[in-house]
Amino acid sequence: MTRAATGGSALAAGAGLPPSGVTVGGAEVGLSAETPAPPRPAGPWYRQMAGLPWILPALVVSVGVLYYCIGYTGFISTLKWDGASPQADRVGAGNYVRMVNDPIFWRALQHTAVFFLVTFAVQVLLGMTFAVILHSQVRLRVLYKVLVFVPVVIAPATTAPVFRQVYAPDGQLNAVLGFLGLPDTNAWLANGTTAMLVVMTVQIWQSTGINFVLYYAAMSQIDTEILEAARLDGASNLRVVGSIIWPGVRGTTLAIAILTAIGSLKTFDIPFLITTGGPSYSTEFLGTQIYRVSVALSQVGYGAALSIVLLVLALLMAVALNLAGKERGASRA
């Protein structure tokens, strides 16, 4: 894991790396507003384009496969089409108007927002905690690392039936509650609120391992001298975590925020496999809604419109979080 990928900007701001645009060993590092533009290569235009043939195959594949599909989805979103019939009706922005008036769409967005906030907060907390603990001298560290990471590599299709059984009215969770003398007839998946909690807990269980790995790697980059200096100054463990480690992994946290936000928007497999978006759409996300309207209801045009909105939201979310991260980094520098 490279420094840049795991929080380079945070370390630059909080852990003593040089700010952008400074000279190190005679060479300028990073870019600033004053950085001069690189000189244009001399020679005729075809010489300047000499690299184009080398990148063209990749460009064609990415444009052809990805951007063409996005464009085609945008086109389909203006149709009323079942996805198979030879003819489709042009409805212009009709699918988007329908979306604005669709209460399930707004509920899906709400669920996404709540899902993002909860899963992000809990995953960051757990990931940080595991990383901090396993950076200390703990016995069987490797075993714990494996245990924390294993859920990441298990397919949701494999775990979903297990969780459905665990949370069933006659499942293991109720059995444990009964053993403890608590009410043991809860239908967890039949209640909208608890069903959403189940979906979130499964997501957290599945994704905490990757956050742990990211934090673990980011913490490895923090200068140990700073930590030792803090100890010598009498800083407590919590103070070290709060004042040195947390700012030091800020870039990682930002990356996790972006990944979790985009992942939340794309959430599909866990709610689809465990709750099928129910009960009464209380665990519906954009992903499950797109699948339901496109496949079950054969309203492919409307599904495409939802997909385009999902794409735009994901892009906006990534840009916003990036900007927020940069602004905060600049204010700290």
Partner 1 sequence: MLRRRARIAQGIALAITSVVALAGCGAPGSGSDTGGGTTTATDGGSATSGSIQWWSWTPDNDLAEREIAAFNQQYPDIKVTYKKVPNADYTAVLRPALASDSGPDVFTMAAAGTVGPFDVFSSYAADLTPKVSELLGADWKSKVYGAGVTSFSKDDQLKAMPWAKVAAGNMWINRGLFDKYDVKVPTNLAEWRQACDTFRSNGLGCFKEGIGASGFDVDTFHSIVNSIEPGLYQQAATDKIKWTDPRLVQAWSTFAQLQSDKILDAGGVGVQQYPDVNNAFLSGKVPMVQMGSWYSQYATVNSLTAALQGAGVPADTPKVTIAPVAFPDVAGKGNPSTLFADPDAAQAVNAKSKSLNAATTFALWLGGTTQGQQTVANNVDSLPTLAGVAPAWSDIALVDQQVQEPLLKDLYAKAADATEPRSNNLPAARFQAISDANQAVLGGSKTPEEAAADVQSAFDANPVGS
* Contact partners, residue 104, CB within 8 Å, separation at least 6: 281, 284, 289
Give residues 291-330 in contact with partner 1 (rule: CB under 8 A): 294-299
**Binding pattern to partner 1, positions 30-69, x when CB under 8 A?**
--------------------x--xx-xx--xx--x---x-
- Tokens matching residue 277: 């978006």
Q: Could you give the CA distance from residue 107 to residue 120 in angstroms, rounded to a whole number?
A: 19
90 binds partner 1 (CB under 8 A): yes
Shortest gap between Cβ of 127 and partner 1 (angstroms)? 30
**Binding pattern to partner 1, positions 238-277, x when CB under 8 A?**
-------------------------------------xx-
* Nearest CA-CA partner of 205 in 177, 255, 172, 166: 166
**Binding pattern to partner 1, positions 124-153, x when CB under 8 A?**
------------------------------
**Considering only residues 15, 99, 189, 305, which one is a binding residue for partner 1 as defined by CB under 8 A?**
189
**Measured from the CB atom, is 91 or 257 closer to partner 1?**
91
- Helix residue ranges, H only, 154-232: 156-166, 172-179, 192-220, 224-232
Q: Which region among 35-43, 163-171, 223-231, 306-314 touches partner 1 (by CB under 8 A)?
A: 163-171
Strand partners, 27: 24
* Nearest CA-CA partner of 125 in 256, 218, 283: 256
**116 in Cβ contact with 124 (< 8 Å):** no
Strand partners, 80: 89
Interface contacts to partner 1, rule CB under 8 A: 50, 53-54, 56-57, 60-61, 64, 68, 72, 76, 79, 81-90, 161, 164, 167-170, 185, 187-192, 195, 275-276, 278-282, 294-299
